[in-house]
DNA sequence: AGTGGATCCTGAACGC
DNA sequence: TGCGTTCAGGATCCAC
């Protein structure tokens, strides 16, 4: 489940291994991953063929490769996507969806089991693809505006976990790191934004940064074989998790068993003692 | 405009 | 053994 640290590892891998190469061939093996591209699979392939990759950039969990045409190849890994650079002749991965032949030798491959991710060509999107203009900066971005984030959170009545997952407010935070940051901040995810003190939101933001920073230092999180970076190497961070996936395990602070509840059709893990559920009036 | 729930997708894990 | 159900979740879509 790639979150921002994993996507940054992928971006860095693309920068190192793909920038400077020309896409000599493009082969779409499944239409779904290019569903966002209005050109369709064949148009996607033809507009990319022969283009040179000039950079590798990222905002939140999106990455894009500006091209010598002024367009950009925009991508998102979804839940299970991978960008792999493989030698020519490497056996096809079971869920190989798109293959790019590179003039530098080797192939860039988009592999995605569940196909929540995808690729598309953004017209004139070299600087910031218009498709992702609504995505906020991430908290690692030097231009992230802390005061603006705090102010916006404190005007919203949604639960703080939903706000952390709102990519228009803050990008790059997924389910796992949201739970970890909330545990560190001792906040229940259902606490409404407008009822949090300014200092509570500031502290929560610092925990989000810390969790991301630790994951980035370790090369991203991996919980199963689904996430692999651009070279096919998995990152490991899972031993550091305090809340996510820890149902029934003792809280690291107070030893109360961690609980799991369903939220937005996914799981939320929290300590019922350190992170008390808000009362209806609070 | 903000809110909250549904939806997409595959395959591993689970229950009977 | 086999078949059906549940679960995982990022981003988008939609009704209110």
> pLDDT of chain A along its 282 residues, tens only?
677 888 888 888 899 889 999 999 999 998 889 988 888 899 999 999 999 999 999 999 999 999 999 999 999 988 888 898 888 888 888 889 999 999 998 999 999 888 888 999 999 878 899 999 889 999 989 999 999 999 999 999 999 999 999 989 999 898 988 999 999 999 999 999 999 999 999 999 999 999 988 887 776 444 333 444 544 444 445 557 899 888 888 999 999 999 988 888 788 999 999 999 887 644
Burial of A179: CB neighbours in 10 Å, binned 0-12, 13-18, 19+: buried
Q: Return the closest-CA partner of residue A138 out of A4, A281, A280.
A: A4
Nucleic acid strand C within 7 Å of A210 CB: no
Q: Which of A132, A156, A175 lies at the terminal end of a domain, its last residue?
A: A132
Tracing tokens 């630790």 back to the chain, one arrives at A214
pLDDT at A157: 92
Residues A125 and A240 both lie in one domain: no
Domain of A222, CATH number, reads: 1.10.8.50
Q: Does the active-site annotation cover A61?
A: yes
In a domain, A137, yes or no: no
> Token pair of A250, please?
């003792």
Nucleic acid strand B within 7 Å of A32 CB: yes
Q: Which of A57, A61, A99, A184 is catalytic?
A: A61
Residues A105 and A203 both lie in one domain: no
Q: Which nucleotides of B are covered by protein (CB under 7 A)?
A: 2-11
Cα atoms in the 13 Å half-sphere on the side-chain side of A217: 7
Tally of structural domains, chain A: 2
pLDDT at A238: 52
CA angle A207, A208, A211 (to 5 degrees): 80
Cα–Cα distance measured from residue A113 to residue A79, given in angstroms and rounded to the nearest whole number: 9
Range of the structural domain that residue A46 is part of: 4-132
How many Å separate Cα A134 from the centre of its chain?
15
pLDDT at A116: 85
């Amino acid at each position: 489940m790639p979150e921002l640290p994993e996507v940054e590892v992928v971006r860095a891998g693309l920068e190192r291994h793909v920038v400077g190469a020309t896409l000599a061939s493009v082969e779409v093996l499944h239409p779904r991953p290019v569903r966002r591209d209005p050109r369709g699979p064949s148009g996607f392939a033809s507009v990319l063929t022969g283009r040179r990759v000039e950079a590798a950039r990222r905002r939140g969990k999106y990455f894009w490769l500006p091209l010598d045409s002024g367009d950009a190849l925009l991508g998102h890994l979804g839940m299970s996507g991978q960008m792999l650079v493989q030698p020519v002749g490497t056996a096809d991965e079971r869920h190989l969806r798109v293959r790019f032949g590179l003039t530098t030798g080797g192939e860039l491959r988009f592999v995605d089991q569940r196909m929540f991710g995808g690729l598309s060509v953004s017209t004139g999107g070299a600087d910031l693809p218009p498709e992702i203009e609504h995505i906020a900066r991430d908290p690692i971005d030097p231009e992230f505006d802390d005061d603006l984030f705090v102010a916006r959170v404190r005007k919203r009545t949604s639960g703080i976990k939903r706000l952390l997952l709102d990519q228009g407010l803050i990008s790059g935070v997924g389910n796992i790191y949201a739970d970890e940051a909330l545990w560190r901040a001792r906040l229940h995810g259902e606490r409404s934004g407008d009822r949090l003190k300014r200092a509570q939101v500031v502290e929560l933001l610092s925990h989000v940064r810390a969790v991301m920073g630790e994951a980035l230092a370790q090369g991203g999180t991996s919980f199963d074989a689904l996430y692999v970076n651009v070279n096919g190497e998995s990152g490991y961070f899972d031993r550091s998790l305090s809340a996510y996936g820890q149902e029934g395990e003792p809280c690291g602070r107070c030893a109360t068993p961690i609980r799991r509840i369903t939220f937005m059709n996914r799981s939320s893990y929290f300590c019922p003692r350190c992170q008390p559920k808000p009362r209806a009036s609070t």
